[in-house]
Structure 1
Amino acid sequence: MDWQLPKVRNRIQLLALFVLGAILAGAAELPFGGWIQIPLLTLIWWQLHKSNQQAFKHYFVASMSFGLGYFVLGLWWIYISLHDIGGMYWLLSVAAVFLLAGGMALFFSLASLSIRIFKDSPISGLLLAANWVLVEWLRSWVLTGFPWMGLAESQVNGPFGAVAPYLGGLACTFLVVWASWQLYILRKQVRVGGISLLCIFLLMPAFSWWQFTKPQGEPLSVELIQGNFAQSLIFNPDGVFRQIQFYDQAMKSSHADLIVSPETAFSWPETNLPSGLLDSLQVFSNQSQSTLLFGIIGRRQNPPDGREFSNRALGIGPNAPTYQYDKSHLVPFGEFIPPGFHWFIKAFSVPLSDFARGATDQAFFPITRSGQDPIYAAITICYEDVFGSELASRLRESNKPANLMINITNLAWFGASQAPAQQLRLSQLRSLETGLPALRATNTGITAVLGPDGKVLAQLPEFTQGTLTAKVQAYSGKTPYVAWGNTPILSISCLLLILGLIRQKRF
């Protein structure tokens, strides 16, 4: 029976990697998750390195195993939207979660291949980090991209967040992977691994010395409204009307400079809203001198592509034209149907799931106050704040400077899961990258105010109905990341891999 021992060992290793991947995902939710993930990755490299002597097939499956564990735990909230809200059969919902997790794990497997390819290289840690960066960048745009649950966002609670204003979240990812590899080689190269780790950790505080953005004007009084309405209400006209009434009354009860309600606060098409509703909000804005921003279902007249509706943020300012922002980066299957997949949408009941796509160069939202210069806000809707390079590009190419960011979101689709906390960390990373404060107005949470350093300044508890009142300081200026985007870190990564391949051929 000795011949069966290798098979048993292999299966134990695959299970261990799956469990380690799940623990790695769970660690992101902890207060110092960005620190904890580094030694966990070290354990994963140790397990994968043991597979180097085995067939490529086993190595590939092993590297897939930890990615599958990571994404199954990190993305299980998709089951809630498909089964609990959408009404999809539970087995099909489970399969969809595993299918998406498997697709994401494939990227992690590709990123891990450099351990096998460059196993004898003296710079194997740098090559692994470079490959990981390129694969994560690939994950952000293949099939419209889904870079959720990357290693970078945990660095808002980790050692490498300070590099985000310079080189972005991908640079944080690079350092996390590199540091975890240096920790791995300590067992054989104590001096090299120890000195390099000590140097990088001592260097990190220096990145916080420079501030690239500065306060502009007087602080802005804001109110962020969290309605806490169950997603099931969208299937009930009476429930939708109660939601519209709540947000209408809540906004009209405020006296702040800026009042923000979440995504689809008014969840009927714009032309079907109660008569006079938008006009009455304009009258309130004129009288109170308050600026309003809220989510609606936009409606286009005679659309050339046949897509009549859009996911829209509508802005109403005192004695000003109505502002609108249509969501540009749509969620596959949730907000648009990829060609050939209409059968999938028919498996569960989600209305308005084929939205029109907004332009990428839409103007920023002007917020005016008497006697002061306008403040401009970059608007994102829901998971658009996952895409840091797209946001940086908008800030870089706009003819008006952005002074803060506003994200409106409805995560009621995902119930009591870790999805709101995950998106909050992504918003924190966006503030770090851009040096701008951010406002998050959500239906069920997490409604929050973020500083230009990504710190949470105030927030409401999840699943409560309430209003978050705060003073927010606008900022002006651009970080190096906004100016350069991902070009520097991608160039460094490409050069490192070219160097590694040249050296591999020589030896």
Structure 2
Amino acid sequence: MPKALAALLLGLLHTAAFAPTYAWWAQILALAGLAWLALDAPPRRAAVLGLSFGLGWLSSGLWWLHISMHQFGHIPWLLAALAVLLLALFLASYYAAALGLAAWLSRGSGWGWRMAIWSACWALAELARATFFGGFPWIASGYAHTAGPLAAWAPWLGVYGISALAALMAFSLVAAGKKQWRLAVLSLNLAAFGPFLLPHDFTVSTGSLNASLLQPNVPQDQKFDQALIDANLDQLAQQIEAARGQVVITPESVAPVPVAYLQGEYVQRLDAAARQRPLLLGTFLGDDTSGFTNSLLAFGGDQAYDYGKRHLLPFGEFIPYGFHWFVKLMGIPMDDQMRGQHQQAFAVAGQRLRPLICYEDLFGEDFVASMNGPDAATVLVNVSNLAWFGTRMVQDQHLQFSQMRALEFQRPFIRATNTGATAALNHRGEVTARLAPATRGVLEVTVEGRSGSTPYARWLQAWGLAPLWAAVALVLLPAAWARRRAKLAS
């Protein structure tokens, strides 16, 4: 029990490593503490430690889900808290299984194999959480390293490769504590200093783009209020008309009424504003018969364009089988949506903008095709509405995911959000401009478009996440075979 409590507290420290603190070192220290607690533990005890760590990490890192369910979904406080706890327990089960497997495979192994097994099992848990049941890799451990020495590995290995390297560094500290100095120094050097021996920039400039990023700051409980929609849309039009960039970008679903049902005069007003500069408007496309798609619709510009969200959010945008009763309890508007069909970029001012709606920017493997080839996107764009979840923690976490994508693909990233974080990032993942959260405004930014492919973008498009799964298998399958032979010999 004391060790399980210690693992729970280490999970809380792990959460503190992510944005807004950017304390990458805390992620490694927390994981090293978990590895120390689990060292030589039997599989069941190691699994309990993994579950406790994951529960502390994911319940504290996802607590803001309670706001959407209780404050806006009107689910009783206790039931909403229980729902968050159950989700955290479910996600923590991946790490329980990983630590149990690592403990079983490590029995009788030398320090080198133990280190490899630990890192591979941690990577296995991260990949499983990102893949199974649609994937929910929010604050995967690699995201803590948008700053620090491991960030240089992003264009080579991506976030899950960094997760494995972080686990390697964490176990290196344990090895050092057991006076395995040579092994510890070797692995620490590999993880921390390897990429500095290699070239950093794989992309080149395609010129600059001036963009106007809108932040309307409409409270979530007013967004779909019929008595306030007209006033909110009028304020939105005023922001669009006052914008000065070469393109104007609004947040996700900023027009809560499907575009087919907007008043003709209002559409004409948007058309008039877009004659000065193209507009990407967050709205819904479709109808009551065919269904609705969370979309970005272009006004003005040289092409008819719309982008529909492809990776939908469970419980908010599509309803998993058997959970209609729960979602209907929350009364979420348009809770079962259609998926978008294409991934084309939007051309403006010599740049190609690749939209991503809300948490689509967690899944680089979904849109990596847009990062390669002669028609590759030169600027990444995220539009979001995080007003469902308050302003604490969630906005900074989501911004950090965009930072990781900027690092992986070496592209600038611009973000237009309802309440925050509206920001601009350069191709190194550095925040160059940001609006204060929970304020109304327009962020006028200049970003430098980039073309070219990183090694990560090339192998991710060719094989998806399979190389990482294969690397895990190359460690764990021989370890399992050796464990089986040892058991038979005894």
TM-score normalised by length of structure 2 = 0.93
* 2:355 maps to 1:362: no
Question: Which among 165, 180, 201 is matched to residue 155 of structure 2?
Answer: 165
Name the structure 2 match of 1:5. Answer: none
Partners of 2:446 and 2:164 lie apart in 1 by 36
Q: Does the 8 Å CA contact 2:343/2:367 hold for their aligned counterparts?
A: no
Name the structure 2 match of 1:3. Answer: none
Question: Which among 87, 90, 99 is matched to residue 112 of structure 1?
Answer: 99
Q: Deviations over 1:4-40 (max 9, x none)?
A: xxxxxxx222222111111211222354421221112
Task: Name the SS for the 1:140 alignment partner.
Answer: helix
* 2:293 maps to 1:310: yes
- AA paired with 1:226? Q
**For 1:330-409, what aligned pairs fall within 5 Å after superposition?**
330-359=312-341, 361-367=342-348, 369=349, 374-396=350-372, 400-409=375-384
Q: Deviations over 1:355-408 (max 9, x none)?
A: 11112x3321121x3xxxx32111100000011211214434x77211110000
Q: Deviations over 1:319-356 (max 9, x none)?
A: x3431111000001111111221111122221111111
Q: Does the 8 Å CA contact 1:114/1:128 hold for their aligned counterparts?
A: no
- AA paired with 1:314? L
Taking a change above 3 Å as real, the CA distance of residues 332 and 157 of structure 1, as seen in their structure-2 partners, is same
Q: Deviations over 1:446-471 (max 9, x none)?
A: 11101111111111111111111111
Q: Deviations over 1:101-121 (max 9, x none)?
A: 011101111222343123232
Partners of 2:119 and 2:183 lie apart in 1 by 17
* 2:6 maps to 1:19: no
**For 1:25-424, what aligned pairs fall within 5 Å after superposition?**
25-29=15-19, 31-49=21-39, 51-52=41-42, 56-119=43-106, 120-122=108-110, 123-188=113-178, 189-207=180-198, 209-217=199-207, 219-286=208-275, 288=276, 290-300=277-287, 302-303=289-290, 308-318=291-301, 320-359=302-341, 361-367=342-348, 369=349, 374-396=350-372, 400-424=375-399
* 2:451 maps to 1:462: no
Q: Does the 8 Å CA contact 2:20/2:397 hold for their aligned counterparts?
A: no
Name the structure 1 match of 2:483. Answer: 504
Partners of 2:109 and 2:300 lie apart in 1 by 60
Distance apart, 1:202 and its partner CA: 3.0
Q: Tell me, which stretches of 5 or more residues in structure 2 are unaligned?
A: none
Partners of 1:405 and 1:199 lie apart in 2 by 31
Partners of 1:455 and 1:58 lie apart in 2 by 41
Distance apart, 1:60 and its partner CA: 2.4
Name the structure 2 match of 1:7. Answer: none
Partners of 1:50 and 1:230 lie apart in 2 by 51
Taking a change above 3 Å as real, the CA distance of residues 232 and 108 of structure 1, as seen in their structure-2 partners, is same
User: CA RMSD for the aligned pairs?
Assistant: 1.8
Partners of 1:58 and 1:126 lie apart in 2 by 20
Task: Name the SS for the 1:475 alignment partner.
Answer: strand
Task: Name the SS for the 2:355 alignment partner.
Answer: strand
Q: Deviations over 1:185-220 (max 9, x none)?
A: 11221232134324542324224x331110013x11
Q: Does the 8 Å CA contact 1:167/1:488 hold for their aligned counterparts?
A: no
Partners of 1:461 and 1:171 lie apart in 2 by 33
- AA paired with 1:312? S
Identity of aligned residues (%): 32
Taking a change above 3 Å as real, the CA distance of residues 348 and 501 of structure 1, as seen in their structure-2 partners, is same
- AA paired with 1:448? A
Distance apart, 1:433 and its partner CA: 0.8
- AA paired with 2:256? S
Partners of 2:103 and 2:390 lie apart in 1 by 40
Taking a change above 3 Å as real, the CA distance of residues 326 and 386 of structure 1, as seen in their structure-2 partners, is same
* 2:439 maps to 1:433: no
Partners of 1:137 and 1:263 lie apart in 2 by 28
Task: Name the SS for the 2:41 alignment partner.
Answer: helix
Q: Does the 8 Å CA contact 2:44/2:100 hold for their aligned counterparts?
A: no
Partners of 1:196 and 1:321 lie apart in 2 by 52
Task: Name the SS for the 1:160 alignment partner.
Answer: helix
Distance apart, 1:234 and its partner CA: 2.6
Partners of 2:370 and 2:211 lie apart in 1 by 24
Q: Does the 8 Å CA contact 1:285/1:292 hold for their aligned counterparts?
A: yes
Name the structure 1 match of 2:472. Answer: 493
Q: Does the 8 Å CA contact 2:168/2:191 hold for their aligned counterparts?
A: no
Q: Does the 8 Å CA contact 1:377/1:405 hold for their aligned counterparts?
A: yes
Size of the aligned set, in residue pairs, is 478
Taking a change above 3 Å as real, the CA distance of residues 321 and 48 of structure 1, as seen in their structure-2 partners, is same
Task: Name the SS for the 2:257 alignment partner.
Answer: strand
Partners of 2:100 and 2:148 lie apart in 1 by 26
Q: Tell me, which stretches of 5 or more residues in structure 1 are unaligned?
A: 1-10
Q: Does the 8 Å CA contact 1:243/1:265 hold for their aligned counterparts?
A: no
Q: Deviations over 1:267-323 (max 9, x none)?
A: 11112212232233223222x2x12112112224742xxxx11111112233x3431
Partners of 2:220 and 2:204 lie apart in 1 by 40
